[in-house]
Amino acid sequence: MAPNLAPNRETVYGVAMRNFTRYPEMPDAKGLIEYGVRMEELGFESLWAWDHTLLGVDPNFPIHDALLMLTAVAARTTKIKIGTGILVMPLRNPVLLAKELATIDHISDGRMILGAAVGWYRREFDSLGVDFTKRGKIMEQSLEIVTRLWTEEKVVGDYDPYNLRGAVMYPKPVQKPRIPILIGGYVDAVLKRAATKGDGWLTYYYTAEAFARTWAKVRGFAEEAGRDPDELISTNQLPICVGPRDKIEGPMKHWLQTEWDYASWSESTMDSAIMGTPEECVEQLQAHLATGIDRIIFVPYRYEAEQIDAIANDILPKLKAR
């Protein structure tokens, strides 16, 4: 049985936090905690942190640890869900990760969502002593380990290099049967993993057309595996900038070109950006809603306060009214 993320299946709206910046600017840990509190006050359904240990050389991108930031926000909030978008799972010891996430689920009273993927930054893997070429296999193994530790009374299994000889992990997560898992990625092997090993797919900067096309593949893989595709949850991270298009388009494109990556093997693109007046943004978002998407995570232009207020006050009410 899969965790029920969105019982009413209405589209919900999350927001990303700026826990990474471009050097020499540094992310503000205390400011990010207050940001999380404010996102709950504004009515966002969920708050999402980016995950890397190391990112970039020249330029490099300073980043605060995703799980620590989400833990701090969880302690200061009561309603907003918290998620990793995404966690580079092969870089984490899965036994420690299962413990950390279960603890966060208790601190948050059952608000944790695990978004996870294999990662792409080879230098990061090399620095942490993890074989980059085996990251897919490691991810599969880690998913099995954390799921078993969360759901079984005692785990016995040899998962090289982890020898679980009667591994008993309590407390279990608050959420039953376990913390929801959304799997990120683009190639067919990953889409199959999302359809069969987790609770859905989380993607990054996909246009409505690309999203619909790829989500259909995920659903197809679920059906092939004998799983009800309606159980799966779909999520897309979308950049957004609210304002007169002739004034915002240039700065928005510059930001998207200088602080964001687009994997060549994916359909991620800066063309996914939502831009314009509130009415224009709502119109552009309607194409995404038409795909039946379960969750949109907004990535506001430079995380500016006025942008976030515009989304919360001028866009969300219009979307929810439709």
In the predicted model, is pLDDT for residue 37 greater than 90?
yes
Q: Could you tell me the end-to-end alpha-carbon distance of the chain, in angstroms, rounded to an integer?
A: 31
pLDDT of residue 1: 44
Residue with tokens 């913390």: 179
Mean pLDDT of 298-308: 98
Q: What is the pTM of this model?
A: 0.95
Q: What residue spans of 79-227 are helical by DSSP H? A: 94-107, 122-128, 135-151, 188-196, 208-224
In the predicted model, is pLDDT for residue 7 greater than 60?
no
pLDDT of residue 321: 84
CA–CA separation, 158 and 318 (whole Å): 52
CATH of segment(s) 7-179:
3.20.20.30
Q: Tell whether the torsion through CA atoms of 68, 73, 76 and 80 is positive or negative.
A: negative
Please spell the DSSP secondary structure of 140-155, one letter per residue: HHHHHHHHHHHH-SSE
Of all residues in the chain, the percent with pLDDT exceeding 70 is: 98
Confidence class for position 268, pLDDT limits 50, 70, 90: very high
Structure tokens at 299: 């990535």
CA–CA separation, 37 and 33 (whole Å): 6
Confidence class for position 78, pLDDT limits 50, 70, 90: very high
pLDDT of residue 5: 41
Question: How does strand 162-167 pair with strand 155-159?
Answer: antiparallel
Mean pLDDT of 275-300: 98
In the predicted model, is pLDDT for residue 72 greater than 90?
yes
